[in-house]
Structure 1
Amino acid sequence: MLKANNFITNDGIRITYYDTLKSGQPILAVPGIGSSATLWQEAVKLFTEDYRFIIIDPRNQGRSQRTFKGQRISRHAADLAELISRLNLNNIIAVGNSMGAANIWAYVSLFGSQRLQAIVDLDQPPKMIQDSTWHYGFKDLTWKNYPDYLKIDQGNGIYAHINDEMFKKAKIEAQKYPYNAEENYLCRIDHAEQDWRDVLVSLKVPMLVLAGQNSPFFDYHFAYATRELNPKIDTGIIANCGHLIQAEQPLKMYQEIMKFLQEF
């Protein structure tokens, strides 16, 4: 169903991506930090009849190359831009889970939204650090504690049962291509320091924010606060779901996205 491919970025890093190679409108999926394409398998099955589905393994994740280079959101966005250009994708539905959503916002900030039709954010607020202007950050992360806080293992964010076969494949994949959190600490720091509200306020394409009601990382009310930034932003709350919406509740996610896409 998904064919693995590779390309070399302009800074010399091999990036793996998966493509159903179907004609039709492309969905470009971006996993969160430490994750990979494996946990999108059930989502692919739901969308593949009507859409071309593409998943990137971000640098240092999944089957993509491990490197000290580019541990910043802007470089991840550049990798997306290179993939989009390489495949000549247009009218894209960009779907990002966790930091994957931040990668998409960074792409919009740097390269514009001309190639996008819509964005779907899976359980990622536009700001990770809580302060007087934003009360829906990552757990108890603050400007004072974040350098040390992000060194602590935060778990996988899963709340609901994941399809047994997909979970088994993901476990095997993680053992074969392990993610080293310690070596990617600088990427987590860069992710935490960003504030994407200025990008979302001026966003020109529709965006759907889906929050896991039982996410151990974020208070799901962040979705409502994000919606207030721009009339183009819509929201949905996924019940019985943690942080990995595409893996925990793929059918509910699919239904919410399809309803959203039918509105424009």
Structure 2
Amino acid sequence: MNFKTSDNVFLHYTDTQTDLPAIICLPGIGASGQLFNKMVELLKDKYRVIVLDPRNQGKSQRTYKGQRMSRHAVDLEEFLTSLNLTNVIAIGNSMGASTLFAYASLFEKGRIKAMVDLDQPPKMINDDSWQYGYQDLTWDNFPVSLKYHDTVHANYLRVNPEISTPVKLEMKEYPYDETANYNFLCDHAFQDWRDVVMDLKIPLLVLAGEKSPYFNCKFAQAMKFINEKIESHVIAECGHILQAEKPEETTQAILSFLKKNGL
């Protein structure tokens, strides 16, 4: 299915189309929404599960427009509005979680009643105030070093072929152009969402991958010092793509969080 944004970009999404409470899932930068496929199967009996491909990713339209986090947040708001959805549970992996922080910065809680962050700290540039950013990214090497960022596998565990095969086929037919989207990567990495996290009006669960090649998993605990209401947990022996590497354990952590918050 496709949705047309206000700046005339078509975004692809999948939807279990039930009358159950809604969950929306957002993949990381350059990634396929199909990485959530197993999680969709695990959640669909209790929730309506929607997976949205961001602009320039998955089966969504390729465009030069909107290469900034704020536009991705607006895309999310327009999409939820088009489906007349409120009180949505939003799950974002990596950049998908940053989209949720951008959304909160623009709309506060808006149409979302709880957020789940899968392996994304609120700040990616390391400096004296924050030591849990992206690898060795600092103000001294930003943004040039981002041109050479994709030198390691995002996952630590081998992803089940049930998940990885459809993703590989989709990426072959709908490739992601890192060069064309370099400005977006820079905008993503530049942001500092700590003030947003501090004032967040809705429950937030942060799940970090113990073996993430991108982030020190201690960022999850550090976020609790920003906002003590945050719930955080480290998924052991797992890399950056929690929803695909350990979908059962990740889903169970999310379900426990939702139950605890009456959702």
Q: TM-score, normalised by structure 1?
A: 0.97
The Cα shift of 1:231 comes to: 2.4
User: Size of the alignment, in residue pairs?
Assistant: 260
Q: 1:211 to 1:246 in 2, by over 3 A?
A: same
User: Does structure 2 retain, via aligned residues, the 8 Å contact 1:211–1:237?
Assistant: yes
1:242 aligns with 2:239: yes
1:93 to 70, 89, 108: 89
Q: TM-score, normalised by structure 2?
A: 0.97
Counterpart residue number, 1:54: 50
Inter-partner Cα distance in structure 1 for 2:108 and 2:253:
25
2:228 to 208, 231, 252: 231
User: Does structure 2 retain, via aligned residues, the 8 Å contact 1:60–1:67?
Assistant: yes
Counterpart residue number, 2:7: 11
The Cα shift of 1:240 comes to: 1.3
The Cα shift of 1:43 comes to: 0.4
The Cα shift of 1:197 comes to: 0.4
Residues 90-143 of structure 1, C-alpha deviations (whole Å, 9 max, x = no match)? 111100000000001111111120422210000000000000000000000001
Tell me which amino acid in the other structure corresponds to 1:123: D
User: Does structure 2 retain, via aligned residues, the 8 Å contact 1:205–1:232?
Assistant: no
The Cα shift of 1:147 comes to: 1.4
Tell me which amino acid in the other structure corresponds to 1:101: A
2:183 to 165, 176, 186: 186
Counterpart residue number, 1:143: 139
| 2:71 alignment partner, SS class | helix
Tell me which amino acid in the other structure corresponds to 1:226: M
Inter-partner Cα distance in structure 2 for 1:20 and 1:111:
26
Counterpart residue number, 1:177: 174
Gaps of 5+ in 1: none
The Cα shift of 1:227 comes to: 1.2
The Cα shift of 1:8 comes to: 1.2
Q: 1:261 to 1:136 in 2, by over 3 A?
A: same
Residues 176-229 of structure 1, C-alpha deviations (whole Å, 9 max, x = no match)? 000011110000100111000000100010100000000000000000001111
Inter-partner Cα distance in structure 2 for 1:68 and 1:146:
22
1:163 aligns with 2:163: no
Inter-partner Cα distance in structure 2 for 1:155 and 1:78:
31
The Cα shift of 1:51 comes to: 0.2
Gaps of 5+ in 2: none
Counterpart residue number, 2:117: 121
Inter-partner Cα distance in structure 2 for 1:241 and 1:217:
12
Percent same amino acid at aligned positions? 50
Counterpart residue number, 1:202: 199
